[in-house]
Structure formats: C-alpha cells, structure tokens
Amino acid sequence: MTFEQLSGSEDPHRIYEQVRALGPLVREGGDWVTTSHTLSNKILRDRRFGMRFTDGTYPGFAGLLPQSFLELDPPDHTRLRRLAMPAFSPKKIDEYRTRVEKVAESLLDAGEFDLIKDFAAPLPIAVISDLLGVPDADTAEFAGYGALVATSFDTGVTPEMTHANDKILELFERLIAERRTRPGDDVISSLVAAEAEQKLTAQELMGTLVLLLVAGFETTVNLIGNGAQALLGHPAQWALFKANPELAPDVVEETLRWAPPVQLTGRIAQEQVDEIGTDEMVHIIIGAANRDPEVYPEPHRFDVMRVQKPEHLAFSSGIHYCLGATLARMEGEVAFRALARRMPDLRPAGPVRFRDSVTIRGLASFPVSRS
C-alpha cells in the first residue's frame, strides 16, 4: 500500500489526498482502499462484509492479542459483545463520571508536566483498570505490557512483546482465579460469572478482557493528546473553549473527526459486491473519510463549532461500532474541561514526539508549560 511510505510522525493527509484524487474506491495491489465517508460508512454497515476470509482465517494484522470479538463475525460476535455491553451502557458511564473527574484533578496536581505521560495516558489507564477490576498494585504493570503488545499491530512481534503478552495473560489468569472465589462489582467478575454459566469459553473470556484493557487505554490517550494539541495549535479555538466550557462535547467530537486515534480499519467481502470480489479486503481510511469534502465543508479546518453531521467514523460504524464510545467521550470531556479550568495558560514547551504507529495516531510525548 501507499501507506507503507508513512510513519507515525508524518502528516498522513498528503497521501490520503493523493488517494482521494483517484476516486472513492481505489485498487491497491490485490486490495481496495476507500477515503470516502459515504462508502466507508456503507461498507462498515453492510453485512456482506466481515472481519474474516470466507475460510474462517483472519488477516495477519491481529498482532499478538488473543482473539476477541472485535475480530469475529456474527453469531459469535453478537453473543460476546452482548456479554460485555452492560458495563459500558450510558447510564453506567454517567454514574462513573465523578470518579473520572477526581482522577483527572489529582493528575493535574503534579508539578513537571508532559501532557501525555502525566495526564493523557494515566487517566484512561486508571479508568479502565478500575472498571475491569484490576487492583491498583497491578495497574502500572498492566499498562506497560499493554502498550507494548498494542504496538505489535504495526511493528510486528518482537520477543519483548511476546514476553509482555505472556505477562498480561498471567496477570489476568490470577485475577480470574481470584474472582471465581471472591466475586466483586467489576467487569472481570461479571464475565467470570457468565463463563460459569457457559455463555463463553475460558479462551473467549481472556480475549474479551485483553480487548477491553487495550482498547480502553491505547485509544483514549490519543483522543486527549490529539485534542490538547489541536486546541493549543488553534489559540482562537482554545480561547473560545475556555470561555465556554460547555463546549467540551464539541471539542471531543471535532478532535475525533479531525485527528482520529484509530486511522485505519478494514473489511473483507464475504461475497462478490459490485466490483469487489469475494475475500478481497477493503482498507477503510477513517482519517481520510473524516475529512471528506463531500460531507464536511472545509474539512481540514479544526472548528469546534462545526455541525457534526453525518457523524465522523472515529468509532467505526455498524455492528463493530466502538463499545467504549460513551466512556471515551466522557473521559475526553472531563479531561478537556479539567485542562481548561486548571491550566488556562497552558502552552507547548518543547518538541512533540509522535508514536511510532500509523494505525493508532497520536503523541508519545508533549511537553507543556502551565504558565
């Protein structure tokens, strides 16, 4: 793919626009690529497309993570997603907001400040660990290993990542065993109970927990980081937001549209669909679809006041629509409000460093000064 020329630090939109100029659906090697919002949305919602080849195999981009429902088609996808859903309902997430606000406030008490390392990363890690039921004592270890395993999506698997993967599985095995004897009010306990009722296998239980852990913190960190960078890079928008903190949900949506943490996904045709043959892959460039001039006027402009219609594809669409979207949105709102209130004079204080990843786009380091 043309995208192999890209690195995490490069602005991908130059290449996205080159592909867009070739048309809404472009042949690349044996695959297809789309940059069109309308077509991406259509394919993501079309049941003639799935995650797997028709022989049941999965394309090689799974990295190290154990199989989860993100990689499955119905009916297994439906069954497993339903078991995880109650923990992420809008009502549950709303009840959880005050706790997230407390975590955000406590992180901002620190002196030296790297916006990623000291705020954007630890907030979602604390939140998802708490929801899952990972004890504080294990959180740092989980986070370190999780981040390493997640990069295997892009970079291929190193021995270090295999070790990290083994460690995560070991830690979860221990927590699962503990919850079997002493259940609590957390996601591990409720899934362990479902396993006892044979609603999912031990392997599916592990796959779900690892998915929730990694999906929970490898993406939200970049919503917060990309949003903070966008605001500080657009002083008028930052000023507007500080004067109107009720715009927090709009800042979240415009960040998700303009700088989506997950830039790419893909679907495989399960049968011939127009010119797309059975078992052919369509790469869906979320980052490009979110700046499609056919649906968003002046798409490259970061504008928190823009009308978000149709919805961006940062959380995908159709049956795999992000299960954690309500949680991620709430975390983003809390984070941006806390920054605006506690650090109104925030400004960049050194060069940023991008993550070494094209699929998950965001910053590894963002030094800022509070005054």
Binding site for ligand HEM (CB under 6 A): 69-70, 81, 128, 211-212, 215-216, 219-220, 223, 260-262, 265, 314-316, 320, 322-324, 327-328
**Residue (48 or 163) nearer to ligand HEM, CB:** 48
**Residue (211 or 251) nearer to ligand HEM, CB:** 211
Of 351, 181, 340, which Cα lies nearest the Cα of 250?
A: 340
**Residue (38 or 162) nearer to ligand HEM, CB:** 38
End-to-end CA distance of the chain: 44
Give least dist CB 215 to ligand HEM, A: 3
Kindly give, in sequence order, each residue whose CB lies less than 8 Å from that of residue 272, ignoring residues fewer than 6 positions away.
278
Give least dist CB 360 to ligand HEM, A: 9
**Residue (15 or 223) nearer to ligand HEM, CB:** 223
Give least dist CB 185 to ligand HEM, A: 17
**Residue (85 or 177) nearer to ligand HEM, CB:** 85
**DSSP annotation of 363:** E
Strands 264-269 and 281-285: antiparallel
**Residue (148 or 264) nearer to ligand HEM, CB:** 264
Nearest residue relative to ligand HEM (C-beta): 324
Let me know: does 97 contact 334? Beta carbons within 8 Å.
yes
Tokens of 100: 């997230």
Give least dist CB 324 to ligand HEM, A: 2
Give least dist CB 368 to ligand HEM, A: 20
Residue 88 CA from chain centroid, whole number: 15
Tokens of 14: 């130059």
CA distance 311 to 308: 6
Partners of residue 49 on adjacent β-strands: 269
Tokens of 182: 């002493």
**Burial of residue 118, with CB atoms counted within 10 A of its CB: 0-12 exposed, 13-18 middle, 19 or more buried:** middle
Exposure of 222 in the CB half-sphere (CA atoms within 13 A): 28
**Residue (69 or 238) nearer to ligand HEM, CB:** 69
Let me know: does 51 contact 58? Beta carbons within 8 Å.
yes
Give least dist CB 39 to ligand HEM, A: 15
- Residue 75: is the preceding peptide bond cis (ω within 30°)? yes
Give least dist CB 126 to ligand HEM, A: 12
